[in-house]
Amino acid sequence: MSAASIFQLHLVLGYVPWLLCVGAYVLPWLKSIDRAEAQRVIATLHSFRFFGLVFILPGVVGPNLPGDFAIGAAYGDIATGVLAMLALSSFRIRPLFWLFVVAFNLVGAGDLVIDYYHGNQSGLPVLAGQLGAAYAIVIIYVPLLMITHIVALYLLVCRQPTTVQTLHGDLITTWPAQTH
C-alpha cells in the first residue's frame, strides 16, 4: 500500500471513531445544556489550536512539507485558537462572546477546508512522511476539530429545548433553560 493510500485511509478512519463518540456521547450532552455553556466547551477545545504552529517548526516536520499547506495550516490554527480564547474570555459579555463564537467557528472550519484543499493540491498525501510528529495532529485531532465546528454551527442555528434537565443526587429536576 502506498504512503498516499495509507495517509488517505488514516484520514478517513480518523473521522469514524470521533463521529461515533460525538454522536453517542458529546452531542446529546451538549444539546442538553445551556447553549452558551455548550459553545464554551467547544471553544475550550479549539483554544488549543495554537498547537498548529508546529507545522512550521523545523525538526518537528520535514523540510519538504509543502509550504502552501504548512503556512496556511499554522496561521489558520493560531487565528482560530486566539478567537476561541477571546470567546472564552468574553463569556460574561454575551454579545461579544457570541461574536467570537461565530468568528472562531467560521474561521476554523474555513481553515480546515482550505488546509484540505492545499494539502491535496500540493501533493501532501504522497509527502505525508514530511508531517513528522505532526502526522498525529492531522489524523487524530483535525477530524475532531472539524466535527466540533459542525456541531457548534449546528447548535448555533438550532433552537434549544425550553427545559434543561439535571441530576441532583437521586432527584431529577427540570426547570426552564436559561437564555442570555
pLDDT, tens digit, for every residue of 48-101?
Answer: 999 999 999 999 999 999 998 999 999 999 999 999 999 999 999 999 999 999
pLDDT at 164 over 90: no
73-89: burial string, b at 16+ Cβ within 10 Å, e else: bbebbbbbbbbbbbbbe
Question: What are the boundaries of each domain within the chain?
Answer: 3-176
What global pTM score does this model have?
Answer: 0.86
Measure the CA–CA gap between 64 and 145, rounded to whole angstroms.
25
Residue-averaged pLDDT of the chain: 90
| pLDDT surpassing 70 at residue 174 | no
Contact (CB, 8 A) for 51 and 137: yes
Tell me whether residue 131 is exposed, middle or buried, using C-beta atoms within 10 angstroms of its C-beta: 0 to 12, 13 to 18, 19 or more: buried
Residues 144-169, buried b or exposed e (16+ Cβ, 10 A)?
A: bbbbbbebbbebeeeebeeebeeeee
